[in-house]
Chains A and B, each alone.
Chain A
Amino acid sequence: MTDLAHLDHELARLADGDRSVFSSVFGLLSPIVQRFCRRRLGDGPDAADAAQIALEKIFARASDYDPARPALPWALAITAWECTTVRTQRRRARTEPLPETELDAELEGADHALAQQADRAALHEALAQLSPSDRATLEEAFFDSLGEDANRGPKDASFRKRKERALGRLRALWRGAFGNG
């Protein structure tokens, strides 16, 4: 059984009230949640706080977990929401604007780059969950938009439909894991 299938199975048992699997579920989820928070918020106390709160919320809602759905996106959706909340709180905590300095501009650039890097990693994660045919369709559409696939001629209606469906599934995965933000 893969780790993900094992997590689905153990979380389903926990949702049913089987306390004997608590430590096992915690052991599986904790490193994933902590890694996810570090990627979204950077290394530091914010990521640790967000991970702790996210873990508490995941377990508080464990009884509502629907065993028909995969556990990891469900847990990561709660974690992503918590990361967004912590980031918003951190932004609001700055009541006075800091003086604009060269260092601040540099830090802002670094923060932006880090956020971009995290978003790109998240996109890779979402793409990895798509079926191979959906991934191939999106790849073809991407190269088509760059004009690198001109020899194939104009795309037919069935390709456009496939592309729309693949994009729809990608959007749904993204929303499921990271919310609407």
Chain B
Amino acid sequence: MADPIEERARRAYENGRRVRAAELSAPFLAIGVLAMVTGTRVSTAIFVSLALTLLAFAFLVRGQSLGRAVLPGLLLGLVPFGCAHAAQHVPASLGHLCTGSQCVSWCIPMCAAGGLIAGAWIGRLARRAASPFVFAVGAGSLAVLTGSLGCACVGLSGVAGAALGLGSGLLPTLVFHRRAVV
């Protein structure tokens, strides 16, 4: 049977981690406010920023590679987020991006490009992490959530564009380092 003092210390450690994670992840709600200010639908901004904060909280409580993935994930998620907002300011004269058979809003390719840049960057950072696969998945999921706050400009297709771009950027890391955890 474990020492009761050790058990209390272990509980104190877990509580300490939860408190610290809450302190560090609470400011992430501000991303939702930023998204609202820049024109994202209120319900989407609230839902996604809550999901983002909760995921960051869970990662920070867990720590190690997942904990270290939080800040890069959030910051690099701002790349597709920024690209989506830049797309909204494309002059009306440029209209849509047409590729022969169909035309799409500029938002989707911009989100995909932003996602690709973020994914490649996360992959680069992941190579230096202790668990590259875990780091890449953690940072990637946070980047998709952050990016989707901006890429929801054309509904789910914008979010899918960002996720696809990010996945493509991350693909080499996910493939080459998967063996490390499997």
Contact = CB atoms under 8 A, between A and B. Distances in A.
A26 B9 contact: yes
B12 A56 contact: yes
B20 A59 contact: no
B5 A30 contact: yes
Interface in B1-51: 5-6, 8-10, 12-13, 15-17, 20
Nearest to B21: A63
Contact of B64 (A17, A22, A26, A59): A17
Given A16-B64, A17-B67, A64 B9 contact: no
B178 interface: no
B6 A63 contact: no
Contacts of B172: none
Interface string A42-59: 000000000010011111
Contact of A17 (B5, B8, B15, B62): B62
B15 A23 contact: no
A60 interface: yes
B63 interface: yes
B17 A17 contact: yes
A18 interface: yes
Contacts of A57: 12
Contacts of B13: 14, 22, 59-60, 62-63
Nearest to A14: B13
B10 A16 contact: no
A59 B63 contact: no
Interface residues of B, number: 17
Contacts of A175: none
A51 to B, nearest CB: 8
Contact of B12 (A17, A23, A60): A60
A18 B66 CA distance: 11
A56 B6 contact: no
Interface string A61-103: 1111000000000000000000000000000000000000000
A52 B4 CA distance: 10
A57 B20 CA distance: 14
A55 B20 contact: no
Given A16-B67, A18-B63, A62-B13, A26 B6 contact: yes
Nearest to B9: A59
Interface in A141-172: none
A60 B66 CA distance: 20
A135 B12 CA distance: 39
A50 B44 CA distance: 50
Interface of A: 14, 16-18, 22-23, 26, 30, 52, 55-64
In order of increasing CB-CB distance, the 10 nearest A-B pairs are A17-B63, A60-B16, A59-B13, A60-B12, A56-B12, A59-B9, A17-B64, A59-B12, A63-B20, A55-B9
5 contacts: A17-B17, A18-B63, A22-B13, A63-B17, A63-B63
Given A55-B9, A62-B16, A63-B16, 7 more contacts: A17-B17, A59-B12, A59-B16, A60-B15, A60-B16, A61-B16, A64-B16
